[in-house]
Each structure stands twice: as structure tokens, then as C-alpha cells.
Structure 1
């Protein structure tokens, strides 16, 4: 389980360090920084995939995602006695992401590239990375570090050995230095991070992939676009928890049940509802009903990840479905760490009623996203 999440220099997250629970609910008004928080989490996961530079490019590049305010605020500015003004920059331009779990911690520091004639001269560079044991980075618990083009690993004798000397500035040590013999800790952490799951705005329109019959194979993990919904639901029935699946449908739609049909290898979902003479095909279901089924398939996965993140899962759902959804999320948090980003007060109240986890209510203070009432854990970033 992740115990601490840290972000610095990313959009409105100038310096945010949060203690995480088993179930975490992130809420706040529009513009408070919820989307930035979610994107930062996704970027952190991209580091293990080796795609963090490309993902930043999609967002407009490093310069478009950096904190746009001053490096720090004076007491007079915070008290409203002086205006916010730009000053001479003293620190390096930096975007930092990191976390500490129950066993390992990881952090990455990205910055601007050195001037060059390359057409890729605006790509951000990875300036530093670190993997350590425990909740906070210290020199004594550092087991792998990257500075510039060099990667250093703590070997079996407890000595630091240089394993790579020419790592490209756009490559992560998580993808190039993880080795089952020389760096098993990096390999284990990388694979764990690659298993993180992000579900963001399932499509439910008439052309949504989930509404079309799809070739079905055993599907323990629902795809991000929900295209394999029918196969995922059938997999839950065969190797997962069919009783929980039936209960989730009954909880939201009393008297209803699911049917999975197969024709020429194509799987399709249908729902039989009380009072109707025939089941409704997935193409006939309302947007909210389909979205709820997609969330059921994601949350009841037979292979729970270490971390699952849901971004605004309440979209298109009728208020009556929020309580059943909250019960599903609470049950999923018994098998995975879960982070829910939402602006729906009804969902927050329903999740709070489950009496598990922590609610973070984000606010803006001088343009900076903060979490009032939350005590930030101790944290240290790797040095360049």
C-alpha cells in the first residue's frame, strides 16, 4: 500500500504531500486541482512504462505543465498585505513525482533540457531518480539512484555499483536498470507500478466500444475503454466472485440479472429486468446502466491490483446508483488500495458512510492546490 504521495511543480500542485489510506476520496470544487492530482498519478505510473516524456508531450510539454506561480510566497503575500509578484528564480526548473509504500519508495525529477540543435530539444529530461526502502528517502536506505546518465545500484555486498553510465535523458532507470539478478527490487517495484489501473470516463454513447459485440477471451482485467465488458463479466462468473457480481446487480437494479450470449465467438451483455418479456441488449441500455456495469467489472476484477484509481466514476449515474457504487468501492478497497477522484457530494457522503478511508477536500490558495486539515508526512526528494 502507498503510504505517502508527493507532487511538486506540476500545474497547481506546487508542493503537495499526502498520507494515503486504504480507501482515499479526493474531492473539491471545480478548479481546485482534482484533475491535476489525477494526471500526476497517471504520470507517475507512466514512469514504470517508460512513457512519462511522451505523456508530458501530450499535455503540451514540460513548460505547459509546470507550476506557473512564484517559487514561494512571503508572509505578506499569504496575509494579503502584498501582491503576488515574480522574482528571480533561485531553484532549478523541476517537476517531481514520488511515493513511498510499505516496503519501497520511488521518486523522479524532470527538468528542462540543455540547449541543443536537436529537433527534440524541447523534450523534458529525467534529471534524477531514486528507489529506497522505507517511508522516507535517506542516504542510508537508498538502494538505487540515477543522476545524469549514470545509474547506481546497491549490490549484494552492500556497496554501490555503477551499472549504467550512458542512460539517455529520456529513459528511466525503471525500464533500463531493472534486473532480476542485479536489481530485483527495481524489477519488483516496476512490475507493481505497471499493474496500477486507471479508469477515467468510460464511454457510454451509442458508439461506445462496450456496446458492440466483441471476440471474447478470459478477461480478468477490464480494458481501459471497457470494450471487453462481456468477457470481463463472464470471467468474474467463472474464476472470480459470481455471488458478489449478482449482489452488485441486485443492489442497483432489484429483480434484474445479467446474461452473456455468444454468437460466432462474439460476446455480448444483456440485462433481464423485472416486468420485461425479453432481456435488453447492451445497445439498448441507458448510459448510466452501462457505466455502472463497467464499474462493476472493473471493481470485481479477479486479479486485484495494488492500486486502482477511479476518476469521476459518478458520471452519467443516477443518484440512486451512488450508494451501491460506494458499497462496491468499499469492498474493492479490501483487496486493493483505491483512490476515487470525484466532485459528487452524494458519492463522498456514501463513501464516508462506509466508515473506511480518508477524504481529501482540495482547495486553491493563491493558485496553489492545498489539502486543509491534512498533516503532510515527512518527505525528501532525490538530489540531482
Structure 2
């Protein structure tokens, strides 16, 4: 389970360090920074996939994602006595991401490239430092692997920090290029954990949505991010997952209803039997909200629970009557999986907030900066640049 999440210099998240629980609920008004926090976690996951630089490029490059306010706010600025204005910069420009779980912690620091303006790729950020450590907060004594410039050093079984990579490209992470069963086992373990994180964000439910059409099916213990394999994922829950929980989840949301998976020439399709109807409804006939809820059921009842499951505004397109059943579904998933929910749906928030395993954070903006209400920031140390 992730114990601490840290973000600095990313969009409105100037400096955020928050403790997480089995279920973490992120709420706040529109524009408070919920989406930025969600995207920062996705960006962390992209590092383990070797996609962080490309992901930042899709957001407009480092310059478009960096904190746009001053390095520090003076007391007079916060009181409104003087306008917000730039100050003399004392620190380097950086975007930092990190987390600590029950075993390891990891952090990365990305900054402006040294050859800015001299390359066609000068908008790509440069990885300045990375660190992997044991425990919750980084220190000199618990660092297992560290990257400084092009060199990665790993602690060996004799307590020595030995170089394992000496010419790592500035756009490559040690998570993807130094993870090795022999010399970088801890990096490999943590990388695979991060690769197993799952994100579900605004499933498509329009008439051309991938989930509406029959698809060739294979065993699918993990629903894809676009929901295209919905029928196969639901059938997999029936065969190797919790069939009773699936039936209960459908009946809880749609009393008297049940689903059936049919196969024609290898193509899987969902049929929904509803009370009072003389025939089942095909996926293409379902309302947007009904289809979205079935997608959420498939995601949350996965037979292969993820170490981390992140839901961004799962209430989208759902009727208010479905929010309490959704909260119960999330609570059930939280028994096996750590869940982060980003939401502003009051009924969903109220039910989840009453769960003893849930912590709630309210985000608000002050002078363009996202501040976190609720809970004290845990100890955190960023890796130093060389």
C-alpha cells in the first residue's frame, strides 16, 4: 500500500505531500487541482512504462506543466497588500514526483534540458536525479539506488554503492534501464508494482464506444482502460472471480436485473435482463449510465486486484441513485486493493467518508496554488541533484 504521495512543481501543485489510506478520497471545487493530482499519479505510472517524457510532451512539454506562479509567496502577497509577482529565483526549475509504500520509496526530479534551444527536442525535460530507498523517507543511510546525471549506483549485498549504469541517457529513467534481477532487484520489484497500477478515467459510452460492440474474447482478469473487453472481463469474473459479488453488484444497482454473456463465433457480448422486459437488452441498447456502471463493476471486481486502483470522477453520467451502490462497490474493492477516488459527487463522498479505512482530502486554490485540507504532511525528502 502506498503510504505517501509527493508532488512539487506540477501545474497548480507547487508542493504537496499527503498520506494515503486503503481508500483515499480527493474532493474539491472545479479548478481546485483534482485533475492535476490525478494526472501526476498517472505520470508516475508512466515512468515505470518508459513513457514519462512522451506523456509530458502531450501536455505541451515541461514548460506547460510546471508551476506557473512565483517560487515563493510573501506574507504581503498572501494578505493581498501587494500584487502577486515574480521574485528572484533561488532554486532550479524542477518537476518532482514521488511516493513511498510499505517497503520502498521512489522519487524523480525533472528539469530543463542543458541543450535548450540547440536541439529539435529541446522541449523534452531532462531527468536530473532519481532515488529508490527503503522506508518512508529518503536518507543517506537507506538509499538503495540513486541516479545522478548519467550514472546509476546500486547498493550491493556488501553495503557498497556500485555503478551499474554509467551512460544513462538524460531522457531515460533508471526504473526502466537499471532494473535487473541481479544488480537492481529492488528497482525491478518496484517497477513491476507501478506497472500494475490501474487508472479508469471517463469510459466512453457513446454509440461508437468500444464497449458497445461484440468483441473477440479471451480470459480477461483486468479490464482495459477503454472498456473494449467488457464482456470478456465480466465472463472472467464469473469463471475465476467472485460470481456472487458480481450478481450482487448488478442487483444492488439495478434491482431484479442480471447480466448474461453470450458468444457467437468467438465474439463476446453482454446481455442485460431487466425486470418487466420480455427480452434482454444488448449492450448497444443500454443507457450511457447503465453501461458505465457495468464497466465500473468489471473494473472494481477484477479477479487480479491491482496494488493501486485510481478512479477519476467515476460518477460521470451516472444517475444519483447509482452513487450509493457505487460507494459500496468501491468499499468492497478496497478490501483487496488500495483505491484513490477523485470525485465531487456528494452522495458518493458521504458514504465513502464514513468508512474507517477512508481518508478524505479537500483541495482548494489560494493564489493559484492547490492546498490540501485535512491531515498533516508526513516527512518527505527529495533526492539532491549533483
Indicate the TM-score class for this superposition, using the shorter chain for normalisation.
Answer: over 0.9
Aligned length: 384
Q: How far apart are the structure 1 equivalents of 2:24 and 2:348?
A: 12
Alignment of 1:369-380 (within 5 A): 369-380=370-381
Query: How much has 1:80 moved relative to structure 2?
Result: 2.4
Q: For 1:274 and 1:87, locate their aligned partners in 2 and report how far apart those are by CA, in whole Å.
A: 66
**Structure-1 residue corresponding to 2:13:** 13
What residue in structure 1 maps to residue 29 of structure 2?
29
- Give the SS at the match of 1:140: coil
Task: Give 1:132 deviation, angstroms.
Answer: 0.1
Residue matched to 2:130: 129
1:194 Cα deviation after fit: 0.3
1:17 counterpart SS class: strand
Match of 1:54 in 2: 54
1:160 corresponds to:
161
Report how far residue 118 of structure 1 moved: 2.1
**SS across alignment from 1:127:** strand
For 1:46 and 1:148, the matched residues in 2 are separated by: 20
Residues 31-75 of structure 1, C-alpha deviation per residue, up to 9 Å, x if partnerless?
A: 000000000000011110111000000000000000000111112
1:356 and 1:335 map into 2 onto residues whose CA distance is 12
Counterpart of 2:373 in 1: which secondary structure? Answer: coil
**Structure 1: 5+ residue stretches without partners:** none
Alignment partner, residue 91 of structure 2: 91
Matches within 5 A, 1:338-357: 338-357=339-358
Q: Is the 8 A contact 1:236 1:242 kept in 2?
A: yes
User: Is residue 10–residue 95 contact of structure 2 (8 Å, CA) maintained in 1?
Assistant: yes
For residue 319 of structure 1, report the CA deviation from its aligned partner.
0.4
Contact kept in structure 1, 2:360 and 2:374, CA below 8 Å: no
* Residue 343 of structure 1, CA deviation: 1.4
Note the C-alpha offset of 1:372: 2.1
TM-score computed with the length of structure 2 as normaliser:
0.98
CA distance in 1, matches of 2:126, 2:151: 14
Between the aligned partners of 1:317 and 1:174, the Cα distance in structure 2 is 38
Shift of 1:206: 0.5
Within a 5 Å distance, the mapping from 1:159-308 to structure 2 comes to 159-308=160-309
* Contact persistence 1:103–1:133 (CA under 8 A): yes
The Cα of 1:181 is off from its aligned counterpart by 1.0
Match of 1:312 in 2: 313
Question: 8 Å contact 2:72–2:87 — kept in the other structure?
Answer: no
- Aligned-residue Cα RMSD (Å) equals 0.8
